[in-house]
Structure 1
């Protein structure tokens, strides 16, 4: 298709380039907006549990802690562990291999809670639970995970300490 057939032939060359530049700019702005979450207030995503932070009950009153915990449990999101539970879980990981939690116990706890979601979502698929755990728990020395046997032990530690009701 020639420029005269497309309608660009009637525009001076500089106008064509300006239109193309504006089109590219609009696409870039749209792509950035989509990739950054579409213009939320700039707050970082705190994970799936954050969607339940400011919920209200069916009566329009603020949600009680019990109601919030029930919703989280129903969604398969393990509650934040208290200090004793977190310590027991981290000790269980250290007994498997001290490098699993490394220098980042918060990350190990977060991964454990994510593992609870897998247990909740796939209660009868132990192989899926192990595979997801192996993919989730990586380390610079173990970029492909710790292997099936260790992943199974990590899975059991998360289940026992972070979400025994699943």
Structure 2
């Protein structure tokens, strides 16, 4: 598909009220399915597909939060949740104890995606990238920003 056609399609998706309503309904339905899977997955079970879904939505939500409210608690929470998802993927084992945290993070990320769909649309390739790495079992914590991006210390200054 040419760049012009892709750009036109993106603009239509961003501005058309019916497309927006359909996307919101699909997101809500998908999140219901993911939320059920979060709480129904057995402790210790490999859950690559679930983790990939969580990585996609939480990753995009974390990036949106970093754009609209950089350095705020919401962005930090979502980046931390994404790091948990990647760690679970690395361990190849679901931790039922993380279900509440990850469910809350996924809901928060979904709400950000709905509220800032234009920003989120541009981040889909990044979400697809991390989700693919999680699904393939090759994601690592180096794929996700850590606490260092929230440091208030100027780089290169020693005390």
TM range (shorter): under 0.3
Taking structure 1 as the reference length, what is the TM-score of the superposition?
Answer: 0.25
Higher fraction of helix:
2
Q: Which has the larger radius of gyration?
A: 1
Q: Which has the higher contact order (CA 8 A, sep 6+)?
A: 2
